[in-house]
Amino acid sequence: MENENRKVLLSIRDLKQYFPVKKTKLREKQRYVRANDGISLDIYAGETLGLVGESGCGKSTLGRTLLQLYPQTEGQVIYHKDGKDIDLKSLPKEEMRVLRKDLQLIFQDPYSSLNPRMTVGQIIGEGLVSHGMFKRGDPAMKDYIFKVMENCGLDTYMFGRYPHQFSGGQRQRIGIARSLALNPSFVVCDEAVSALDVSIQSQILNLLSDLKEKQNLTYLFITHDLSVVKYISDRIGVMYLGNMVELAPTEELFANTLHPYTEALLSAIPVVDEDDKRERILLEGDIPSPVNPPSGCKFHTRCRYCQQKCKEEVPEWVDVGNNHFVACHFPLKHKE
Ligand code: SF4
């Protein structure tokens, strides 16, 4: 789908993730939540790809599906490693377990993602032992954990402390240390700073950027906050109701917004400049049900530019140049 000469780390092809809805006496026909409804894109080695959209648009599901925490219903996720193309879904369980070290997740909620009965040293060490990087009790493991803690801005005296003894920002640093200690190549950061105060958010974003450079990481950065994603991402993908509707390098997306949904999201970013008289576009109504999405363009029920064609025909995913892709029958020409 994309024609860059950069090294592709993950290829996602027509990915569908449908979850069955429980049948009732009134509705016996099996219905599905279409969390991801045919997504195709490449993720390049070393980039940060931001993924934005309202709650329920399927961005977290996509992140977890790429890590095979939910095996996809249809489509392919190909991981390119050491010259091999590995189809993650068809990988035997044991091989997937070995590969899991490469593909890590940083959770949203630092309060609930850490075991309260384990010390920081045990939390970070657990994965190292289970992935065979160290034997339990190996003195070298402690030195390694100290190094990881220092890299993540944690003092080594915290090694024997429990999660409840830390602030939110420090707990998120522990979560990051736990994931990055395994030397992954691809990390999904799922709303990784959303639960933190704004001042702490910037510290964690800077830490993630530094670690990316040091460890040559590739991030999928999932958030509903466009100002955060603008700061950290090389490219941004915009999702609506299970589909990618626009994808472009960050500067290009902000300078030349083409999809009406992206336009509405960007207009909602708070500004401090009094002279900035941007129109705030309010999207009417709630996001429709992913069980029974609207016909044609799924966004047509909330789009202020909707025309008859939008209600009948699904817009194609079009390459408009500059690595900019959009799915809209009537893309906006240029942002004012
Ligand atoms: S295809 Fe039509 S309804 Fe959908 S975003 Fe474009 S203009 Fe709006």
- Claim: this prediction has a pTM higher than 0.85: yes
List pocket residues of ligand 1, CB cut-off 6 Å.
Answer: 259-260, 297, 299-300, 303, 305-306, 310, 315, 328-330
How far, in Å, CA of 219 to CA of 256, rounded?
A: 24
How far, in Å, CA of 291 to CA of 285, rounded?
A: 17
The H-or-E segment that residue 228 falls in is helix 226-232
Give the full edge-to-edge strand order of the sheet including 325-326: 103-106, 186-190, 218-222, 48-52, 235-240, 243-249, 325-326, 318-319
Ligand 1, closest atom to CA 303?
A: 8
| CB atoms inside a 10 Å sphere around CB 329 | 18
Q: Which of 243, 306, 317 to mutate to test the pocket of ligand 1 (most atoms within 8 A of CB)?
A: 306
β pairing state of 218-222 and 325-326: unpaired
What digits encode the pLDDT tens for the residues 213-227?
A: 999 999 999 998 888
**Domains of the chain with CATH codes:** 8-22+32-102+184-334 (3.40.50.300), 113-183 (no CATH)
Question: Which range, 11-15, 51-55, 199-203, is most confident?
Answer: 11-15
What digits encode the pLDDT tens for the residues 235-282?
A: 999 999 999 999 999 999 999 999 999 999 998 877 766 666 677 888
**How far away, in angstroms, is 307 Cα from ligand 1 center?**
7
How far, in Å, CA of 82 to CA of 62, rounded?
A: 24
How far, in Å, CA of 42 to CA of 8, rounded?
A: 6
